[in-house]
Structure 1
Amino acid sequence: MPTTVWLVSHAANAALRAGTFPRAPVAGDDADEALDARSIEALAAWRERWSARLLRGERDGEAPRALTSPAAIARASAHATGFAAAASCNALADTVFGAWQGKRLADLAREAPEALEAWTRDPSFRPPGGGESFDDVRARVGAWLDAMPEAGPDLIAFTHSSVMRAAILHALGAPSASFRAIEIAPLRVAALRRAQHGWVWLAARD
């Protein structure tokens, strides 16, 4: 059977709800500390709706292989939904935000409004201090997808909205500027299936 990749956006925590850019993952980060009461509640509801199906898989009961971004919030989301054995995968990492890491969007809107505006509109814009552009993320994610065999085990990957946008646009062969037209909320699922001509974006059944 063709490989199917289930991409899941991680839960929202207090930092995300406050509009704060994530900090770079640090070795030894406690994934459980990334969750708060609201995210734990949301993850429990997600697990009730999705986990039985995804843990069972679509291959005669064979569970998919689980992967996760190195970020603590992505690892915590995987663990809380029953995928405790998920392996970390650098290709699924969040965008590197450079000097913007740990800063609030509201503060940047006051301090660097032109740069922030460019970031929201230009897929080639890189945040200062060594940040990644959306084009950079798309190249990383596209290379990871295209390295997969046409037929292989299904995967479930807990990752970030930017990675999911990149994967969807790669599958569609759509221009990177279209990233503005894709909105991905926390704990949303997107499915991609390997085909002879590349990848197909599947409409995930909620």
Structure 2
Amino acid sequence: MSTPSALLIADLTGVAVFAASGASAAIVKRLDLFGVIFVGFVAALGGGIVRDVVIGAVPPLAFADWRYAITAAVASGATFWLHPQFSRLRWTVLLLDAAGLALITVTGTLKALDAGLPAVGACLAGMITGIGGGVGRDLLLGEIPVVLRREIYAVASLGGAVLVAVLVRFGIHDGLALVAPAVLIFGIRIVALLRSWSAPVPPETA
């Protein structure tokens, strides 16, 4: 698999980005400093906690490794103080969320494969890792989770997770297994937002 240091850097980067995304969304809702940091923590680490429980890695890294909690808290706090510098907060949230989705999905899938899960299970675990924090963030903020709306979100995450599993299956364990799927997820998510792509919904009844 990827080197432990590369995986750790990607994982912590994803945590920081998702924490900033969650904090930005909380700022829009006018939460106080504690609320912003708490929502950022949930957004950054919620999916990883679920993944670790699924693969039997207990206690979850969010509690076992101080670097995860500190990274989430620092990124959330920094976002709280620096948010006036963001000229377009809505797009800041969306871009950070897309980047976090990409990084966390990839590292989650790789960790699931390392834990011995078969490819299908690892892809599902990777997707849960990617979308879990966002679901928790949206529920805390009183929003319908993005993953349940018409937007292309979970599909992008699952597509990247599948690419990770395919690359690993063919023996590609270097940085390409991290970068290519992350770029795919980020690209699909941003293009879907720009072009208003959405998943089909049932037709309205008469």
Higher strand share: 1
Q: How does the TM-score come out when normalised to structure 1?
A: 0.29
For CA contacts below 8 A with separation 6 or more, give which structure has more relative contact order: 1
Q: How does the TM-score come out when normalised to structure 2?
A: 0.29
